[in-house]
Amino acid sequence: MNHKRVAVAAIALSLVVAACGSDAKTSSSTTADSSKSILNGEIKCNQQYKGKEVHIFSPTRDTDTDHPIADYVGAYQPLVDCTGVKIVWEGTDQFETEINVRLAGGNAPDVIDFPQPGLLTSLANKGELTPLTAAVAKHTTSDFIGGWSDYSSVGGKVYAIPARNSIKSLVWYSPKMFADKGYKIPTTLDELKALSDQIVKDGGTPWCIGAESGVATGWVLTDWIEDFMLRLEGEKVYDQWVNHTIAFNDPKVKEVVDAVGAYVKNADYLGGADLVKAIATTKFQDGGLPILSGKCYMHRQASFYSGIWPKGTKIGADGDVNVFYLPSKSASPKYMLGAGDLYAAGNAKPETMDVLLYTGSADYQLAEILKRGDLSPLKNIDTTKITDPFVKQLSDLQKSADVFRFDGSDLMPGAVGAGTFWTEVTAWVIGGSTDTFLNNVEKSWPKS
């Protein structure tokens, strides 16, 4: 589930940045004048786009508590100074509806910010998006963690440049409780299982989980399954599962679900049978809080959970809580589950392509890390420049990943990924059988 898309009242915002005034932090390499270039000479600084605008259409908009648009637009200031282009941001809470209408009506935005690859793929297959030029496309295929170029490409053509993202393959834990017991951070799935067993043997409760989220109750558990699908079956089977080229009740899927059940349906691991059943009624926001009172040791949850801990909670190796990577098998690639944004082109104008090129650069994405704490899927981000210790920790962790995959439920048809997958996994965790869970989801998959 992509938690970056927060529902708010309908609003369409635009913001223009001209070649004056911005507090966006950028690396020294972005300083430009009319006799120079940026991005190692790939973009010339001749004010060649003066008087021209590039419109970015996005589901990201300002809210009462957060004003991201000025940050995202401001980070383009070096490009504005260099080329004279004006960046116009159009934010809407009706993104999917409006982009379909605009493209069908021949009114394509210059740049389109897709929060998931599914809609991008659908529109590219309809011929409503413009493939990236070779100069931009080469960066998509070479500069990012494995997997991102797959989501950016359709039918052998590259349509998008990856931008900001978040990660999910994390385990929150108590550094003090680990130190007091002499527990080591597990580096393989076998070590994670052995640690969980040792905590039980020592009289503790290894895990705490909450999956209640209103109509979306269950997504926490689907994240567990997606992470374990990657680790036990690999990215090829993961893709087959998400795309339904293997059935939802395939034996490989059952193996993964039962492996997750060994954790989330294990009364010893959760502190009793009643606490297993309570997963479905415990708010996901409260799921990890027992760590702070010493009632459990670990909580598997995404990076966004850093903003849910109570005010005053210190995060870090010497803090109240910290994170470690949910390990893969010892001989496996390092898998990272997450979500993120892909910026595609609505036309082939030179200024459109240069905005996309700059969006995919380390200069732009590092500026966003520094300004907003966003993460970047770029392999060459200089994490030594990141001043926030926790953001640096997450950035280093992501940079070390070999393979990235989007949240699987977000890629499935809505009736499944935001429907039966959630409801059936919830029924399963409180006592249902694996076969019933998988068979019911399989029956619900839309017929092609």
120 phi-psi bin (left φ>0, alpha ψ -120 to 50, beta other): alpha
**Domain boundaries defined on the chain:** 16-166+338-405, 170-336+409-444
Domains 16-166+338-405 and 170-336+409-444 belong to one CATH topology: yes
User: What DSSP element (H or E) covers 53?
Assistant: strand 53-58
Strands 37-38 and 16-17: unpaired
The pLDDT tens digits of the residues spanning 185-236 come to 999 999 999 999 999 999 999 999 999 999 999 999 999 999 999 999 999 9
Sequence-separated (6 or more) residues with CB below 8 Å from residue 201? none
Average pLDDT, the chain: 92
Say what the pLDDT of residue 340 is: 95
> Within its chain, how far is the Cα of 413 from the centroid?
18
Q: What gap in Å lies between CA 323 and CA 319, rounded to an integer?
A: 10
Question: Rg for the chain (alpha carbons), in Å?
Answer: 22
Distance CA 207, CA 144 (A): 33
Residue linked to tokens 């600084």: 45
Residue in this structure with the two tokens 């990890």, named with its chain if needed: 288
pLDDT one digit per residue (tens) for the chain, 448 residues: 554 333 333 333 334 433 333 343 334 344 444 459 999 999 999 999 999 999 999 999 999 989 999 999 999 999 999 999 999 999 999 999 999 999 999 999 999 999 989 999 999 999 999 999 999 999 999 999 999 999 999 999 999 999 999 999 999 999 999 999 999 999 999 999 999 999 999 999 999 999 999 999 999 999 999 999 999 999 999 999 999 999 999 999 999 999 999 999 999 999 999 999 999 999 999 999 999 999 999 999 999 999 999 999 999 999 999 999 999 998 889 999 999 999 999 999 999 999 999 999 999 999 999 999 999 999 999 999 999 999 999 999 999 999 999 999 999 999 999 999 999 999 999 999 999 999 999 999 999 7
* CATH value of 170-336+409-444 in 3.40.190.10, 3.30.450.20, 3.40.390.10, 3.20.20.70: 3.40.190.10
Q: Are strands 170-173 and 322-325 parallel, antiparallel or unpaired?
A: antiparallel
Residue pair 299/291 in contact (Cβ under 8 Å)? The answer is yes
Convert the pLDDT of each residue in 10-27 to its tens digit. Answer: 333 334 433 333 343 334
Residue 7: per-residue pLDDT? 33
Give the helix ranges, DSSP H, for 315-361: 350-359
* Calpha distance 265→305 (Å, rounded): 23
Give φ, ψ of 334 to 5 degrees.
Answer: -85, 105
**What SS3 state is found at 431?**
coil
Q: Residue 5: its pLDDT value, please?
A: 37
**Fold for the domain defined by 16-166+338-405:** D-Maltodextrin-Binding Protein; domain 2 (3.40.190)
| Strand duo 298-300 + 53-58: pairing | unpaired
Question: What are the distances in angstroms from CA 351 to CA 47, 48, 52, 53, 233?
Answer: 11, 9, 8, 8, 43
